[in-house]
Chain A
Amino acid sequence: MAARRYKKTFLGDLEQMILLAILRLEDEAHAVDVARVLEDSAGRSVSRGALYTTLNRLEKKGLLGWNIDGGTSHEGRGGAPKRRFALTEAGMEALRITQEALGALAEGLEGTISGGSR
């Protein structure tokens, strides 16, 4: 049986987007806001099923964590707790590695990619 060891973690596109949205939202990174940023800034409409399973998966991979936000507006929630997400060190690392990999792959293709876009 091989010993367990960490290896480079690459992220899926939705995972990346979610982590980026969380970074962008800083102290206001709640699930509801993450979904809204994805829609408004990235133009990606995500179903709640996809959103929560991805958040959960990222959490299980140790890439993000959450605590209960006691200070923010709880309007329309009927008193339910509100989770605030943040990236862990591993999360930052994974994001960085994935971005770099994508950047390396895209190097020299800027003209081609932008030429193919609208």
Chain B
Amino acid sequence: MTGRSIPPPLFPRLFLRLSLPDGTLRDSILGDFSEEHSRRAQAESAVRAKLWYWRNALGLASRSSFGRLFSRDRYWVSGVKGLPASGSGDPGGGRRSSSKTGGIGYLFDTLGHDLRFALRQIARRPGFSALIVLTLAVGIGGNVAIFSVLKGVVLRELPFPEPERLVAVWQTPPEERWYQPLTGPDYLDIREQTETLEDIGILANRWFNLAGGGEPVRIRGNRVTASLFNVLGIAPAEGRLFTEDEEFEGNERVVILSHGLWQRQFGGEDDVVGRAVNINGEPHEIIAIMPEEFEFPTPWGGRDDSQIWAPLVLPRDGSGRGSHSFGGIARLADGIAEPEADAELHGIALQLGETYPDTNAIVDAYVEPMMQRTLGGISSTLVFLLMIVFFVLLIACANVASMLLARGTGRLPELAIRSSMGAGRRRLVRQLLTESLFLSVIGGLAGVVVAYWGVDALRAILPDNIPRVDGIRVDSAVLTFAAIVTVATGVLFGLAPALFTLRSDLVGVLKEGRLGRGGSRRRNSLLGALVAAQVAIGFILVNVAVLLWASYLNVISQDLNFDTDQVIAAGISLSGPAYEEIHQRRTFHQTLLERVRGLPGVVQAGITNKLPLRGGTNGGVLVNDEVFDPTEQYHLVEHSFVDDGYHEAMGITLLAGHTLTRADLDMGAAARETAHAEDLDVLPGELALVINRTMAEEMWPDDDPLGKLVRPGTANEYYRARVVGVVEDTRQWGAERRALPEMYFPYTAEVWGTAGGMRLVVRVDGDPDSVVGMIRNVVREIDEEIPMAAPYTMGEILHDSTGRRRFSMLLVGLFAGTALILIIAGTYGVMSYAVTQRTHEIGVRVALGADRKLVFLHFIGRACWLVGPGLMLGWLGAFAAAAITRSMVYGINALNPLYVTVAAFVMVAVAFSAITLPILRASRVDPVEALRAE
């Protein structure tokens, strides 16, 4: 045998160590195990040796009588044939004996007893036990499911190296924290000067038309600087990343594909890198494919479904310094904290303000942790939901505690006997806690099953704009959470019955066969407290559910001022050499609109660069006689670019003047053509302009807005537009944010760059689905290379924009409903128990001539005592909870007594349904039956 010692497996060794009493005996057995393990590892294999160790160590440790058998070290001293006296042993030191009631071995021993006993108790009343397990499974499962969402979305790090160093970079007016995107030239200056940022990159969302190989597709992607991937620290799965040379005009025809796009569009073929594809009408080389797990981070918040990336070409002549349009992501230099980066960016911004006063006089910059940016407000929603579902678990605990307490009274004689035979109170309490823990472990296991199912269900109803949903799963961290919740639950619901037992007069029970007066009273008040707690927590939950439900109704029933059911929208982007000239784009759009308007079932069609509720782009404007001053912040106005059919197609009401006409569009086109031909950076003449109600009221509160002049709030007055009409407000940034001032330009003037990416808006008078196919055909007939994105109705856009609210409302409603069922079951149980307990007494009273009505009233009073305090507490709790709910309601006051009253009615109804049956039973007690049963 060689002398090499191979370390035995840690866990079974530890287990063995714990299960043996202290002393020489333990050490020698552990030594034997190690020796045999080493021998087997060398003679057979490491795996077989480990298996042997596991099997034998667990086998030895689990021998239930082991603790007692090995309770004492004994040295053999004399009288043995042929055995020399020990030379090396230290009899004194080895003689430490573990007492019979101490030591881990003993603990294991009694634990085994308790577990077996608990199992018998559970098996004796399978229905009762199943009810408890089910209650716990719902409570624990709900918590675990919500926690897995929280963990996958919020608690998981961003999937990049050293993610805590990633920040979003924003520009903003001084002393503010706006999310103003960066301009190209400012980005180049910041990148050159910064020392606190290791690197910075910028990006711009774009649609890409990918043609070749069947139907052309419209794909969401980003144009990015080469530095952006460097900032993220992610290498492609195959190929190479962009180089800085590719940021220059003429070199930019390269693309990187996502793993998903590669699989879908190219069937996952091997030789895709290096291949040319037709993108936006021009050949591009595919230079890389990103890894499957790569999630493109977005500084815009929510989720970015980018499938393709191309280089962002930046003019290097300093043009575009007023145009804030790029999202910035940077990596902080090693050891740099955000405030240091902020300070440096502030310094750079000041200096840029001095150098370029026209554009940068009032532009500051700052960084924001990328994690915070990615999550937006979702973390607070999820934490709130976890809080709600934790309340449900508390109710479940109170529920189970009351069930155990009521049953526990029935077990008091048994406990009393055990106590009289020498079991200490602590021992009895431990027995009861073991039973609770046993139940909670079964409940926890069932809860994990519920959670697996619940996570799937949650994924299905999660709103679309929640980021990082791919990370939502029941993994080891979630299971650890489940284990902690399970144990905590077991202790929580086991504590009340166990402590009650601890303080009960067991001797009295033994003498009289039941609890004395004091014991009964204490038990009843404990049961009452548990019911009160359930009712109070339930009240708060129901109140929150009512508030969220009312808010949701407010959101979806408010007047949005556009038609949701009969209007469909679809994105169409023009790009490539075929659409380089203004007249080419104009011809496409005109032909498209004319043909679509001619389709059967189509009432009106129009185009726009953006849709209501889907965000927008804004800029400063000058009105009346205002003069440009670079140190002033001008009225920010949303800019829309539409045609003459848009407002009618969308169903937006005209309030004054007229909407854009064909002549307005022609004039816009002419202005753009002239500017282009003569190389002007100013549009000649005046454009027609339609504004919304808010803009009219804010800019000309006491005046007629029609005929008023609007100019851009920049040094260069690149357009002049005159108001020809006022239309009703539509909300731009979601259904819950008020409408901002907005103006509608003729899209033909291309005030802000080329009208490539537009949305077709079609109002139909029948089923929208029936028209979609025809529209698609029209697009294909005009140019089969141009893809049309899948159309959706404006109703679907509203549905998306209210997704988070609906998600919270549904879940809180579900949890509140679950809580109510638990409360009904719990209160019913306690009330029934109270009646059963007093059946004999009622029998006597009725036999002696008591009025049944009085019995009925007595129990009504008892029920009020049971439920009343819970309602009072819940009422107060609901008001206290308003501090949190205030930020979650919409269009209502969280403290409005109306909603609390609704919740109170629900709770009273719940209580009533729970107590009716037991009380009816009490008032119908037959005295003969009751006394005979005694």
Q: Using a CB–CB distance below 8 Å, which chain A residues touch chain B?
A: 26-27, 30-32, 35, 47-49, 52-53, 56-57, 59-60, 64-71, 74-84, 86-89, 92
- In the complex formed, the residue of B with least CB distance to A30 is B32
Q: Which of B83-91, B120-128, B280-288, B826-834 contacts A (4 or more CB under 8 A)?
A: B83-91
Among B77-115, those with CB < 8 Å from A are 77, 79-83, 85-89, 94
- Collect the chain A residues with CB atoms within 8 Å of residue B57's CB: 48
The answer for the CA separation of A27 and B87 in the assembled complex, in Å, is 14
A-side contacts of B36, CB under 8 Å: 32, 35
* Contacts known (A32-B35, A66-B76); A75 close to B63, Cβ less than 8 A: no
Known: A31-B28, A48-B59, A83-B28. 12 other contacts (CB 8 A): A59-B76, A65-B80, A66-B75, A66-B76, A67-B75, A76-B3, A76-B37, A76-B38, A81-B24, A86-B80, A87-B81, A89-B79
B74, CB-defined interface residue at 8 Å: yes
Contact A53 B69 (CB under 8 A): yes
Selected A-B contacts with CB under 8 Å, 29 pairs: A31-B32, A32-B36, A35-B36, A47-B59, A49-B60, A52-B29, A53-B63, A59-B76, A64-B76, A65-B83, A67-B75, A68-B94, A70-B86, A70-B89, A75-B3, A76-B3, A76-B5, A76-B6, A76-B38, A77-B35, A80-B28, A80-B31, A80-B32, A80-B34, A81-B89, A82-B28, A83-B25, A83-B28, A86-B82
Q: Are A48 and B56 in contact (CB under 8 A)?
A: yes
Please determine whether B81 and A92 come into contact, CB atoms closer than 8 angstroms.
yes
Q: How far does the Cβ of A88 sit from chain B's closest Cβ, in whole Å?
A: 5
Residues of A within 8 A of B24 (CB): 68, 81, 83
Q: Is the CB of B30 within 8 A of A80?
A: yes
Q: How near does chain B come to A55, taking the closest CB pair, in angstroms?
A: 10
The distance in angstroms between the C-alpha atoms of A118 and B753, with both chains bound, is 100
Residue B296 at the chain A interface, CB threshold 8 Å: no
List residues of chain B with CB within 8 A of the CB of A31: 28-29, 32
Do A67 and B69 form a contact, CB below 8 Å, given A47-B56, A76-B37, A78-B5?
Answer: no
Residue of B3, B66, B81 most packed against chain A (CB within 10 A):
B81
Given contacts A66-B76, A86-B81, A86-B83, contact A32 B32 (CB under 8 A): yes
Kindly state whether residue B879 has any CB partner on chain A within 8 Å: no
Among the listed A26, A56, A65, A75, which residue makes an inter-chain contact with B35, where contact means beta carbons less than 8 Å apart?
A75
Q: Whole-angstrom distance from the CB of A56 to the nearest CB of chain B?
A: 5
Inter-chain CA distance A48–B59, complex, in Å, is 7
B41-87 interface (Cβ within 8 A of A): 55-57, 59-60, 62-63, 65-66, 69-70, 74-77, 79-83, 85-87
CB B14 to nearest CB in A, in angstroms, measures 14
Which B residues are in CB contact (< 8 Å) with A69? 88
- Select from chain B the residue with minimum beta-carbon distance to A84: B83
Name the CB-closest residue of B to A78.
B34
A77 and B34 within 8 A (CB): yes
Q: Summarize A's interface: helix, strand, loop or mixed.
A: mixed
Inter-chain CA distance A52–B67, complex, in Å, is 12
Contact, CB under 8 Å: B83 / A82: no
Is B32 a contact of A86 with CB atoms below 8 Å? no
- Contact check: which of B30, B34, B79, B88 meets A88 at CB < 8 Å? B79
B69 to chain A, nearest CB (A): 5
Q: Which residue of A lies closest to B4 (CB)?
A: A76
Q: List chain A residues, Cβ under 8 A from B6.
A: 76
B523 at the interface (CB under 8 A from A): no
- Is residue B27 within 8 Å, beta carbon to beta carbon, of the partner chain? yes
Find A48's partner among B27, B60, B88 (CB 8 Å cutoff): B60
B1 lies within 8 A of chain A by Cβ: yes
Residues of chain A lying within 8 A (CB to CB) of residue B82: 26-27, 86
Which residue, B28, B38, B69, has most C-beta atoms of chain A within 10 A? Answer: B28
Minimum-distance CB pairs A-B, first 3: A65-B76, A80-B31, A70-B88
Q: Across the interface, name the chain A residue whose C-beta is closest to B1.
A: A75
Q: Report which of A53, A68, A75, A92 forms a contact with B89, defined as CB distance below 8 A.
A: A68
Q: A31–B25 Cα gap in the complex (Å)?
A: 12
Least Cβ–Cβ distance between B98 and chain A, in angstroms: 14
Contact B34 A76 (CB under 8 A): yes
| Residue contact B81 to A76, C-beta cutoff 8 Å | no
- Is B300 part of the contact surface with A, judged by Cβ < 8 Å? no
Smallest CB separation, B93 vs chain A (Å) = 10
Chain B neighbourhood of A26, CB < 8 A: 82
Q: Does B33 make an interface contact (CB < 8 A)?
A: yes
Least CB distance, A104 to chain B, in whole angstroms: 25
Q: Find the A residue at minimum CB distance from B76.
A: A65
A31 to B27, CA, bound (A): 13
- Contact residues in B for A67 (Cβ distance below 8 Å): 75-76, 83, 85-86, 89
With CB as the reference atom, state the residue of chain A lying closest to B24. A81
Query: Least Cβ distance of A81 to chain B in Å?
Result: 5
Which of A53, A75, A81, A83 is close to B5, meaning CB atoms less than 8 Å apart?
Answer: A75
User: What separation, in Å, do the CA atoms of A48 and B36 have in the docked complex?
Assistant: 11
Whether A81 lies near B28 (C-beta < 8 A) is yes
Contact of B66 among A53, A86, A88 (CB under 8 A): A53
Contact with A along B252-280 (1 / 0, CB 8 A): 00000000000000000000000000000
CB-CB under 8 A from A52, the residues of chain B are: 29, 60, 70
B39 within 8 A of A: yes
Contacts A67-B89, A81-B89, A87-B81 hold; do A57 and B69 have CB atoms under 8 A apart? yes
Pick the contact of B80: A57, A81, A87 (CB < 8 A): A87
User: How far is B35's CA from A78's CA once the two chains are assembled, in angstroms?
Assistant: 8
**Bound CA–CA A70/B74 (angstroms):** 17
| Known pairs A75-B38, A78-B5; A89 contacts B31 (CB<8 A) | no
List, in ascending order, chain A residues with CB within 8 A of B25's CB: 83
CB of B71 to closest CB in A, whole Å: 10
- Closest chain-A Cβ to B106's Cβ sits at a distance in Å of 16
The CA of A60 and the CA of B74, in the complex, are separated in Å by 9
State the Cβ distance, A60 to closest chain B Cβ, in Å: 8
Once bound together, how far apart are the Cα atoms of A66 and B73, in whole Å? 11
CA gap between A53 and B206 in the complex, in Å: 76
**Known: A30-B32, A68-B88, A87-B81. Is A56-B63 also a contact (CB below 8 A)?**
no
Residues of the B chain whose Cβ atoms lie less than 8 Å from the Cβ of A47: 55-56, 59-60
Alpha-carbon separation in the docked complex, A88 to B76 (Å):
9
Query: Which chain A residues lie closer than 8 Å to B63 at the CB level?
Result: 49, 53
- Which B205-254 residues sit within 8 Å CB-CB of chain A? none
Cβ–Cβ contact B29 & A86, under 8 A: no
> In the complex, what residues of A have CB within 8 A of residue B83's CB?
65, 67, 84, 86
